[in-house]
Amino acid sequence: MKAKIDNANATALQRMLDSQPVWVDVKAAHEVIPAMDKYQIFHAGPPVSWEEMCQPMQGAIVAALKYEGLATSTDEAFALASSGKIKFSPCHEARAVGPMTGIISYSMPVLVVENKTFGNLAFSTINEGAGDVLRFGAYSDNAVHRLIWMEKVLAPALKAAVNKMEGLSLKVIMAQALQMGDELHMRNQASSALFIKTMAKPLAEVVDDNKKLQEIMAFLTQNNDQFFLNFAMAAQKATADAAHGIEYSTLVTTIARNGVNVGIRVSGLGDQWFTAPAPPVDGLYFTGFSAADANPDIGDSAIMETCGLGGLAMAAAPAVVRFLGAGTYRDALKYTNDMYEITVGENPHFAMPNLDFRGTPMGIDIRKVIETSITPVINTAIVSSKAGVGMIGAGVARAPLSMFEQALLAFVEKLNL
């Protein structure tokens, strides 16, 4: 049995390593998600009902219903959301990911990323920047107007530019950014800068209206350091999906949180979720906030950790350590070194200068997690438990051990051992 599992894991790992995620297009969600209708909404994390959802996720859904024109007021949107007419599903089950609340509705433009090696597609929302934003549960008019501007102005420009470029390799930007001090989950300063440097000329070429071009460049360059995160998430999703469905593989291909529960999926166990209560985030809070104000861990952005970045690559990003309240740089080294204990390989394409160019830990094995009791470390933003308040800090969360225990038990049951 060991040989079968090890071989399957080697195959899954190789598929992750061989993946070449390329941003190829921007399309409306309903154009890429089969049979999607206006009354369908996708969310971060494992399945969750409206009644069970945390406040920020409910707030984001209210914003989406107003944005879609399905409700003309906040009260009407809450009533519709709780009426049973809206179908809620995890983004991950539609080959998609979204940070924080992760809400994707019918008309929202999504980034289309193609894994050129294996042909699979992955989708992500476009990052809204800072302030009043849906991903943190805001449903104000400002939040809705921003979504409309992104659909009408930003998305067509990005689409035209990437079409003209015939695609943009995301792995190249991610590898460079890792060497410039990003871990690509909570620090995307370098990746966003590289992205904007790459896109400035193509955008200028495809946007004729000078006022619109100014708006776009202001949006991309002002208070928007996490803009590249969504591209990286789609790249990681395309990479993880390529390693999913390998019989006998015990590698984790999904880690995602909905603010109430966190769930994992395993390559050799189909689409079954293994869940546990979402953990609290240990971190630093903005002035005026404390742990008492925080929602438990939320977002599909743990796809960064699933494929070896974010918390797993903390050693690459000394600057993020203080931002997260994660101790000293020595602690960051320990986080990454611990992650080598639960992974089956390393990614030489993502070399970390601070570890003498050692590759990032890659391929989380549920057997190793159980054996060592070391669980994946997740770097993350902290959102207020009240809808609309937004981001109140940043920190580190640990994926609960019980999910991995459940997965291991399901694995032996499936194999009749």
Partner 1 sequence: MVSSPNELFNQPLAVINIGLKIFAEALQEQAVPCVHVDWRPPAGGDSNLLAILAKLNS
Residues that bind partner 1 (CB under 8 A): 1-2, 5, 250, 367, 370-373, 405, 408-409, 411-412, 417
Give the integer Cα–Cα distance in Å for 350 and 243.
Answer: 18
Burial class (CB in 10 A: 0-12, 13-18, 19+), 146: buried
DSSP string computed for 336-359: HHHHHTTEEEEEEEEEEGGGTTEE
Instruction: Give the nearest distance from C-beta 334 to partner 1 in angstroms.
Output: 9
Residue nearer to partner 1 on the CB measure, 23 or 404? 404
Instruction: Give the nearest distance from C-beta 162 to partner 1 in angstroms.
Output: 44
**SS3 (DSSP) at 171:** helix
Which residues 6+ apart lie within 8 Å of 177 measured at CB?
184, 188, 190, 191, 194, 228
Residue nearer to partner 1 on the CB measure, 171 or 398? 398
Instruction: Give the nearest distance from C-beta 97 to partner 1 in angstroms.
Output: 30
Instruction: Give the nearest distance from C-beta 158 to partner 1 in angstroms.
Output: 46
Burial class (CB in 10 A: 0-12, 13-18, 19+), 372: exposed
Residue nearer to partner 1 on the CB measure, 106 or 404? 404
Give the integer Cα–Cα distance in Å for 260 and 334.
Answer: 28
Share in percent of the chain as helix, strand, coil (round to 5): 45, 20, 35
Instruction: Give the nearest distance from C-beta 4 to partner 1 in angstroms.
Output: 9
The residue written with tokens 């293994």 in the block is 274
Residue nearer to partner 1 on the CB measure, 193 or 252? 252
Residue nearer to partner 1 on the CB measure, 73 or 402? 402
Give the integer Cα–Cα distance in Å for 68 and 75.
Answer: 15
Residue nearer to partner 1 on the CB measure, 292 or 417? 417
Beta-carbon count within 10 A of 6 CB: 16
Give the integer Cα–Cα distance in Å for 61 and 168.
Answer: 31
Give the DSSP H or E segment for 398.
strand 391-398
Instruction: Give the nearest distance from C-beta 280 to partner 1 in angstroms.
Output: 21
Residue nearer to partner 1 on the CB measure, 91 or 276? 276
Residue nearer to partner 1 on the CB measure, 23 or 248? 248
Instruction: Give the nearest distance from C-beta 310 to partner 1 in angstroms.
Output: 22
Please say whether the beta carbons of 135 and 43 come within 8 A. no
Instruction: Give the nearest distance from C-beta 232 to partner 1 in angstroms.
Output: 31
Q: What is the dihedral of CA 66, 67, 68, 72, to 10 degrees?
A: 30
Instruction: Give the nearest distance from C-beta 249 to partner 1 in angstroms.
Output: 12
Residue nearer to partner 1 on the CB measure, 41 or 370? 370
DSSP string computed for 228-271: THHHHHHHHHHHHHHTTT-TT--BEEEEEEESSEEEEEEGGGTT
Is the Cα dihedral 39, 47, 11, 170 positive or negative? positive
